[in-house]
Chains A and B, each alone.
Chain A
């Protein structure tokens, strides 16, 4: 047990510090951003490589309070993912600011919020303590709401207000659950809680309450309806990081606590799995009928988040082999979807920015004029649809095997339907972009960096499927109890 090592502390606080710095003087050149931010993912990578020696853990004493943290392979992996996506988002934001007219103050505010988001996510990944988790969750949530509000339009304000209100209420629900847990077991550190907590009615009620709060924050059907409007009006880099990581942080916490407190609650896990299946179907159907490209991508996020919920039934009370497969599938899907969804949002943003359109019908002629952006969209869609060799395919394959091995065949159906629906909405976009018989809109030139970042992320998502063995190796020993 050691206090927080300095390099970890630096990795946590550097995004916020850099964000505050950028608030003072908003960056205008992506090269500078790259130079300054690049050490962060490198440090995260170094941490991940160093984790093979064994997970780190420690406590931090602040007066009478003791906070617990631990860093295992999963946390390091998610940390690396966070830093990478923060870097991509920051780089993209610089180009975005040059390509569009953004309010100067709004643009300046983006940076500290992005930094705060980074800190909040980092805290969530390493927290081994409900208080630390609470702090991280709230920090992340408030920063995310703030970023969503930056465009300042009436739509953004309305959608952001809804997001704010429900995020706050969700936090209270989760706090209520924590209050019950604290009252019942008298401690907040996860290790201790895991040791003493019994699955009695109080724990069950507490978990139900905090789960509903987290489901709301993770936009799982039927508590998803704040997500699509928020993305419809948000800035592209903000959408990218939000769709990629913010919603998944809540899922991460939920999975962590569920496995800690109610590992054997099969019926509850199935209920969560059913909610996830509904999310897959509802998100897919809505994406198939979405009018705008960003809405389509947002609905696709809702559908894809539903897949993650399949982890609960497949991890609850199943054999070790099934649980291992489901565990690996969950994190591969999370990472692959984070990369691909960020790429997809960026590619969609590029298309919309170039054509000046909002609706899908405005994409006519892009197949010829913006082949790179469209190709990026397609590559990202490969992962979203789960075609080989992407990470999405690896994850779905593992889930499929796990479902069959566990005899939980309904999930097979959900996986198949979800894949069909995702193919349907992706091809809807491609069909619109291959239409040639209407007058072409005026196309705007975009900085090449914006296209390249999106392409790099999409390729990374596919590469993750090809090289899934490495992250899985980092997960396996530490992740499963």
Chain B
């Protein structure tokens, strides 16, 4: 089965259009706001929603190939291959659906803005402006093959997403924004250091050259470490994930969906394009990096699940689930360093896993919004639909089942049964998280519905489509790539127990723990806030800030005292000098005496120093009178 391959010459215009169209839309928003600032506008119109359309078209229709732009930065090189097409497809799809969803989600805000509410208007304008910008960065980093474009896209996406995080302007949003910005700057710094070091030492201009450089350079593993950590901030590696659980829940739901669904995958894309995965003959020290990645991934997968189940907010639970899932992906990526031979299969699986997780997590986040503003559908239907992506993520349905089966097969082939077991165990954690998220959604539904009112038309439609896209990923992905996901992609019935036991275990654990801990649950939730390590770190930071502030204040006091001391000494000195100069009057009055003194003194010096001639030239006792 081959995809529709249009003429290769369509690639260049489509590629450029895919990147330019969001930019043009952002410019349009800006221009409209600038030209007639007083005239109320509905920024989130159909044209705005169409921002990712060219990209989707490109991913679906276009051939693989590359585009060279000599004048762009250090020579632009944008490419489209199989892996990029898949990533581009689900990215554009989720962005499109979320944008559509946002039109409904922010309809109230839009109404208030049209009615003349200044705050709503500026919030909406900000959202409408930065949404396409973030999208543009995301698309650019996906298609970029040259390092400069890639980094530009990465940075644009990172920093343009900040206004989306702080959209609501509440205290929690500001905290989330702060965490996001701090970690983003930290990550960008580390990333830039790694990129510049690697690119500089290998004179690499493209990502493939960079990978080769990393594999061969002397300090390649250190560059690799920097790159892993730099991208790890985005991908939510345990320890660097602090911002995730704080920023994802506070953003507006469509923004949460793209943040947690596709933007988090930018880190993964970074790893895939820069680390020497599956390459033979790399330095042995990369194996240690791989081990570190692997254990960090597994630790993240379990720790996030444990912490996540204590969260009361469904979006926070979902965010921790993202950390957990990304931990599994990290562990799989680490296999590329540990077992380069199995990488072709594992690598393809990782991309599929990413696409599955992206779409499903997007559908889950969008579903939170649906549960808060329930459409007038029968409850059983609504909740069944809400449960579907959760089951998929747990690996019981659709894309989840396929991915899991693929992972098991690949790992078994690679002889990593232990890894497969641990990943399955982590899937039990995922199940528990899903149960927790749905349970919290169920509990909060009436309260939230009372506050928010019914959902508007675009929201359920977009959500439904996203659920469908997520569940049907294996079908259309296979169609897209034309290779896997045929009949053999489905597990045989005999394999089902091996695949489904984590689900059962997760459900069982959830029931047992949920029931037994029902009394201490609120207490636990309070003790284990979202953002985990962020809070002690922030407290330590504040303490340090206070300490430094106090030190500075003391230093300033010391300095002032020091300056005052010197001023006083200067004054004393001037007084002393004046006293000294007043001696001049005495000298003037005693001038004749001084003249005598100088003459006598000089004569004395001359006479006494000349030992050869005695002062008295005759014998003592002479003259004799």
Contacts and interface: CB of A to CB of B under 8 A. Distances in A.
A168 to B, nearest CB: 12
A204 B607 contact: yes
B588 A286 contact: no
Given A199-B613, A212-B599, A225-B591, A205 B581 contact: no
Interface string B576-618: 0110110010011001101100111111011111100101000
Contact of A204 (B588, B591, B598, B606): B606
B603 A215 contact: no
B603 A199 contact: no
A212 B597 CA distance: 9
23 contacts: A162-B591, A166-B592, A166-B595, A199-B610, A199-B613, A205-B606, A208-B600, A208-B606, A212-B595, A212-B598, A212-B602, A225-B584, A226-B591, A229-B588, A262-B606, A267-B606, A268-B602, A271-B601, A271-B605, A272-B602, A286-B581, A289-B574, A289-B577
A201 interface: yes
A204 B581 CA distance: 34
Query: Across chains A and B, which 5 residue pairs bring their CB atoms closest together, nearest first?
Result: A267-B609, A208-B603, A212-B599, A225-B588, A204-B606
Given A223-B595, A271-B601, A265 B610 contact: yes
Contacts of A200: 613
Contacts of A222: 587, 594, 598
A130 interface: no
A170 interface: yes
A285 B602 contact: no
A211 B595 contact: no
A309 B115 CA distance: 94
A225 B588 CA distance: 5
A201 B602 contact: no
A133 interface: no
A208 B601 CA distance: 8
A286 B584 contact: yes
Contacts of B605: 267-268, 271
A266 interface: yes
Contact of A207 (B592, B606, B609): B606
B577 A223 contact: no
Contacts of A209: 599, 603
Contact of A268 (B577, B591, B595, B609): B609
Given A201-B607, A289-B581, A225 B595 contact: no
B592 A169 contact: yes
A215 B594 CA distance: 11
A250 interface: no
Contacts of B584: 225, 286
A421 B594 CA distance: 25
Contacts of A162: 588, 591
Contact of A223 (B578, B581, B598): B598
Contacts of B607: 201, 204-205
B599 A173 contact: yes
Interface string A284-320: 0110110000000000000000000000000000000
A199 B588 CA distance: 33
Nearest to A267: B609
Nearest to A229: B588
Contacts of A211: 599, 602
Contacts of A201: 607, 610, 613, 615
A245 B112 CA distance: 93
A89 to B, nearest CB: 27
Contacts of A207: 606
A254 B600 CA distance: 17
Interface residues of B, number: 26
Interface in A331-389: none
Interface in B241-289: none
- Most chain-B Cβ atoms within 10 A of its Cβ — which of A173, A209, A271? A271
- Most chain-A Cβ atoms within 10 A of its Cβ — which of B594, B598, B600, B615? B598
Interface residues of A, number: 36
Given A208-B602, A267-B606, A289-B578, 20 more contacts: A169-B595, A201-B613, A201-B615, A204-B607, A205-B606, A208-B603, A213-B599, A216-B595, A223-B591, A225-B584, A225-B587, A226-B591, A266-B609, A267-B605, A268-B609, A271-B601, A272-B602, A285-B580, A288-B577, A289-B574
Interface string A206-241: 011101110110000011111001000000000000
A209 B597 CA distance: 11
A211 B588 CA distance: 19
B601 to A, nearest CB: 7
B330 to A, nearest CB: 66
A205 B41 CA distance: 109
Contacts of B574: 289
Nearest to B600: A208
B603 A205 contact: yes
Interface in B557-590: 574, 577-578, 580-581, 584, 587-588
Contacts of B613: 199-201
A222 B609 CA distance: 22
Nearest to B612: A199
A268 B606 CA distance: 5
A173 B595 contact: yes
Contacts of B591: 162, 166, 223, 225-226
A200 B611 CA distance: 10
Nearest to A176: B599
Nearest to B592: A169
B465 to A, nearest CB: 74
A285 B377 CA distance: 98
A207 B602 CA distance: 9
A223 B601 CA distance: 13
A201 B598 CA distance: 17
A208 B609 contact: no
Contacts of A173: 595, 599
A225 B602 CA distance: 19
B261 to A, nearest CB: 65
B15 to A, nearest CB: 64
Contact of B594 (A223, A229, A265, A286): A223
A275 B597 CA distance: 13
A205 B605 CA distance: 10
Contacts of A208: 599-600, 602-603, 606
Nearest to A274: B605
Contacts of B595: 166, 169-170, 173, 212, 216, 223
Interface in B135-191: none
Interface in A22-61: none
A421 to B, nearest CB: 11
Contacts of A223: 591, 594-595, 598
B609 A285 contact: no
A207 B598 CA distance: 12
Contacts of B608: 267
A131 to B, nearest CB: 22
A204 B603 contact: yes
B575 to A, nearest CB: 11
